[in-house]
């Protein structure tokens, strides 16, 4: 397994676990009609820190264990896989961001009604987390495309 494929596997696993927790907790808060902006910010920052520490730590540990350097320049196949993953990821992002924003705009009235104590803040939190979910999903698709590319070339 190449260092870049290993990095993709680590990113997929970390993304699913950490951001799966974040979005599950966020949407449970929405369902319970209990949005606390400060709590959500703390959870977001904690998830970012955990993601970074886990990904960097695992990549360093596996690099040391296998004694293969991630700094080596990518070969032609790796560049093609990277380019394909970037193109697919960009297309997914390009399609989903407008859909998320349109869905948010169409739902703004219902969100405001559901959170009468802070309709503006709740709408903003749900909008921002919708866009964040699109970005996380896009990165997941991009990393999975890397894995499929490496596995099909193996």
pLDDT in tens, 30-67: 999 999 999 999 999 999 999 999 999 888 887 777 66
Residue 133 is predicted with a pLDDT of 96
Question: Which of 104, 39, 26 lies closest to 112, judged by CA?
Answer: 104
Q: Tens digit of pLDDT for each residue in 60-97?
A: 887 777 666 666 777 888 899 999 999 999 999 999 99
pLDDT at 4 (0 to 100): 81
Q: Flag whether pLDDT at 146 surpasses 70.
A: yes
Say how far apart CA 66 and CA 61 lie, in whole Å. 9
């Amino acid at each position: 397994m190449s260092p870049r494929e290993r990095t993709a596997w680590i990113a997929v696993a970390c993304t699913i676990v950490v951001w799966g927790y974040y979005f599950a907790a966020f949407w449970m808060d929405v369902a319970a009609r209990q949005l606390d902006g400060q709590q959500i910010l703390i959870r977001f920052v904690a998830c970012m820190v955990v993601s970074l520490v886990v990904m960097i730590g695992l990549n360093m540990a596996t690099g040391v264990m296998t004694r293969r350097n991630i700094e080596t320049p990518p070969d032609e196949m790796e560049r093609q896989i990277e380019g394909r993953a970037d193109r697919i990821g960009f297309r997914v992002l390009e399609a989903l961001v407008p859909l998320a924003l349109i869905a948010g705009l169409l739902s703004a009235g219902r969100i405001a009604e559901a959170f009468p104590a802070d309709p503006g803040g709740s709408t903003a939190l749900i909008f921002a987390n919708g866009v964040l979910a699109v970005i996380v999903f896009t990165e997941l698709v991009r990393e999975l495309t890397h894995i499929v590319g490496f596995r099909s070339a193996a």
